[in-house]
Amino acid sequence: MLDILRRIVQDINATRNLSEALNLIVVEVKAAIHTDVCSVYMTDHTRGEHVLMATDGLRPGAIGKVRLKFEQGLTGLAASRAEPVNVDNAPAHPAFRYIAATGEAPFHGFIGVPIVRRRKVLGVLVAQQREQRKYTTDEESFLVTLAAQLAGCITQAEIRQALGRLDDDALSGTLFLEGVASARGVALGEAVVVFPATALDRVPDKDIENADAEASRFRQAVAAELAELQRLSERMRLLLSAGDRALFDAYALLLSSDSLVNGTLERIYAGNWAPGALRATVLEYANIFAEMDDPYLRERAADILDLGQRLLDRLQEEQIVNRPYPDSTILMGNEISVSQLLDVPQEKIKGLVSVRGTSTSHVALLARGLGIPAVFGVSNLPPGRLNGREVAVDGYTMRVCIQPNPALRQEYLKLIHEEAELSRGLQHLRDLPAETLDGHRLDLYANSGLFADIAAARSSGVQGVGLYRSELHFFLRDRFPTEEEQTTIYTRVLRIMDPHPVVLRTLDIGGDKPLPYFPIAEQNPFLGWRGIRISLDQPDLFKSQLRAMLRAGTAYANLSILFPMISTVSELSDALGLLHCAKTELQEEGVPVQMPPIGIMVEVPSAVWQIDKLIRMVDFASIGSNDLTQYLLAVDRNNDRVAKLYDSLHPVVLAATRHVIEQSRAAGRPISVCGEMAGDPAAALLLLAMGVDSLSMNLGSLLKIKWMTRSVRYDEAQALLTEVIDLDTASAVRERANVFLDQQGLSGLLRVGK
């Protein structure tokens, strides 16, 4: 049965449209379970009907004509109960209804299995038998399994079909696709699809006639790549430190060395085409490096392969080296690399959409840092069909709209305009404090992780950086940065913000953030080796990071250090132990280090309930609401299937947050929130009411939250908190908080929330 199932699913995926897929299903299922009839009804929710869409066994003329009202007949029963109905003698069942249009003399055996996706009934798969027949448990589970698979296939087929319609008539329809993660903001522009390259090791050999022409083609590719590396390195200057840009220099060096280029040319003159000659040469050198004893040199094998791939891409796309990007480019692809993003001139890139990627993928972090609206994890996206189409990217709702109709287009343009107006209109708040109408002060800080966003933070007049995600610098390299390199980075960060405080968080990798050069394969990474757990198990890495931070702190006095993912008291005391050890070592080496303020992130339920103990061991705490929400609600923060359940306004998250804030205040320790919650106006309003000392957020949200703070009264916010904390659901809380914000004249902010 499993083989048949697999084959059917494969066959369906190869079909071109939905009706072809359904026709195929009915024929294959009928044969597989040896039954007289197999049909698929699709549910038309607007009309409240199940429509016969395909059948093998009933009169073909009935297709599209037989429309069963919801709950009508046994088919309706299967749909309304959302469970299989399996009866051996259908006419004897009270729900049975004879439908003449099908041309059937009554059938007896009946099984109807609902096709459900994300709680929504999409249709019913029905099998019938002339004689009385009770379908076996195996047959029933075969149909149930198939229906579950079908739900996904139907969604895909519907999307393909909708795209087909868009092809036929440019304005006849609009297609919405949903993602799982985003960078906030709205954008409208033209899709430019980028494809993953052919893998270098798959390139075949091919004989050539004109070696001179092929050699010159290759030389041009090398020259173009060298120029490109130079350009990329320049552009990265704003974003990365010199150390981080070293990768580009290493590539340039490899390209200028004779071996790679000459080796390839020799093979070309021996009669192979350029891609084949390149493959052979690159693999030869990569193997030599891979065999070396020195670990540093061994790792260069990856650089050689990478560079080979870049040259191959160039040979394959040589005509479009200087790709003309439209003025409003929406970059799309299965997976977009950092260099593909940086390849688009900054003034032309308006948005980003990718099939893969989560909120913490490289490119997502970069998009946020650069303020580019983006949607990631759009698993239904068929990029190949979208090049050149108009696309709207809505990072607030995590939706992508393909070919918006004129009304929607106007709506998106209006939103983009309003956003720009709102940001402009809030500029006058830049140097004003975040203080409520009745005089309660809140400190607002920016989250950061790159040089580009920290420089932007500095020039926007923020009070400091409340969360510096140090792992970003680890992501943008091809190996762990040394203590020296880290010291340079942290010193630069502290210098840019001086005298405003900067909270440097120690490495928070693992979970959904594995480093490319430190792979961690785990069944359950969010509950596995991540954050402080890795740091404690790799004291060498941890200590070099702590030493680098402390050394940076000797030049500027604005440093604080934050430990992520603390879940037990002993973890914290071990981390503090290593920190003291690093400090003593440095002092012994004659470095005049001071102990900076130390904090913990509260992002795990156990830390919430032991906060009274943990907080007394440190100087401050910061609530990581992104992880805290995922762990309290048991909802993976990057999984689109459960995205609807993920909401930091859930009353349980609010209660936990309030507990942490109250306990920290009771212990006399400053408490902050640095997850996405801090930049969500409704959530920030409630956090303010709880008495949080500071909020740290994406720079883009900062003035909006300041506007909110300056427009409300603290005592009224507290009354609102008392009212909502006992509500049952996140949506009820949000609704009530939004009404409150609206009443304060803040309706312009409401879109900014979830």
Q: Quick one: what does residue 674 bind among Mg ion, ligand PEP, none, with the CB cut-off 5 to 8 Å set by partner type? A: ligand PEP
CB of residue 573 to ligand PEP, shortest distance in Å: 22
CB of residue 470 to ligand PEP, shortest distance in Å: 10
Binding track over 122-161 against ligand PEP, x by CB under 6 A: ----------------------------------------
Other CB atoms within 10 A of residue 18 CB: 23
Work out which of 214, 390, 508, 647 binds ligand PEP, going by CB under 6 A: 508
Q: Which residue has the tokens 């304060």?
A: 744
Interaction residues for ligand PEP, span 544-603 (CB under 6 A):
603
Work out which of 624, 679, 681, 700 binds ligand PEP, going by CB under 6 A: 624
Residue 625 touches ligand PEP, criterion: CB under 6 A: yes
Residue with Cβ nearer ligand PEP (485 or 603): 603
Choices 84-92, 131-139, 613-621, 622-630; region in contact with ligand PEP by CB under 6 A: 622-630
Residue 469 touches ligand PEP, criterion: CB under 6 A: yes
Q: Write out the H or E segment, with its range, that includes residue 714.
A: helix 714-724
Rounded distance, CA 92 to CA 375, Å?
53
Choices 119-127, 402-410, 619-627, 646-654; region in contact with ligand PEP by CB under 6 A: 619-627
Rounded distance, CA 246 to CA 527, Å?
34
Choices 31-39, 204-212, 554-562, 601-609; region in contact with Mg ion by CB under 5 A: 601-609
Work out which of 674, 689, 690, 720 binds ligand PEP, going by CB under 6 A: 674
Rounded distance, CA 486 to CA 548, Å?
6
Residue type, 400: V
Q: Quick one: what does residue 264 bind among Mg ion, ligand PEP, none, with the CB cut-off 5 to 8 Å set by partner type? A: none
Angle at which helices 274-290 and 258-269 cross, to 10° = 140
Work out which of 308, 624, 679, 748 binds Mg ion, going by CB under 5 A: 624
Work out which of 28, 36, 419, 627 binds Mg ion, going by CB under 5 A: 627
Beta pairing partners, 465:
446, 502
> Is residue 206 a contact partner of residue 273, using CB atoms and an 8 Å limit?
yes
Choices 32-40, 221-229, 384-392, 621-629; region in contact with ligand PEP by CB under 6 A: 621-629
Residues 6+ apart with CB under 8 A from 34: none
> Is residue 394 a contact partner of residue 401, using CB atoms and an 8 Å limit?
yes
Q: Quick one: what does residue 640 bind among Mg ion, ligand PEP, none, with the CB cut-off 5 to 8 Å set by partner type? A: none
- DSSP classification of residue 63: T
Choices 519-527, 547-555, 620-628, 723-731; region in contact with ligand PEP by CB under 6 A: 620-628
Distances from the Cα of 109 to the Cαs of 35, 81, 90, 127, 278, in angstroms?
A: 9, 19, 6, 8, 65
Q: Which residue has the tokens 């009933």?
A: 58
Q: Quick one: what does residue 675 bind among ligand PEP, Mg ion, none, with the CB cut-off 5 to 8 Å set by partner type? A: ligand PEP
Other CB atoms within 10 A of residue 44 CB: 14
Rounded distance, CA 212 to CA 35, Å?
67
CB of residue 604 to Mg ion, shortest distance in Å: 9
Nearest one of 248, 388, 226, 221 to 321, comparing CA atoms: 221
Q: Quick one: what does residue 625 bind among ligand PEP, Mg ion, none, with the CB cut-off 5 to 8 Å set by partner type? A: ligand PEP
Residue with Cβ nearer ligand PEP (79 or 686): 686
Rounded distance, CA 232 to CA 670, Å?
42
Rounded distance, CA 54 to CA 219, Å?
58
> Is residue 134 a contact partner of residue 86, using CB atoms and an 8 Å limit?
yes
Nearest one of 496, 401, 461, 445 to 695, comparing CA atoms: 445
> Is residue 147 a contact partner of residue 139, using CB atoms and an 8 Å limit?
no
Catalytic residue ranges: 362, 674
User: Rounded to an integer, what is the distance from CA 257 to the centroid of its chain?
Assistant: 39
Choices 72-80, 374-382, 596-604, 660-668; region in contact with Mg ion by CB under 5 A: 596-604
Work out which of 264, 463, 488, 626 binds ligand PEP, going by CB under 6 A: 626
Residue 449 touches Mg ion, criterion: CB under 5 A: no
Binding site for Mg ion (CB under 5 A): 603, 624, 627
Binding site for ligand PEP (CB under 6 A): 467, 469, 508, 603, 624-627, 674-675
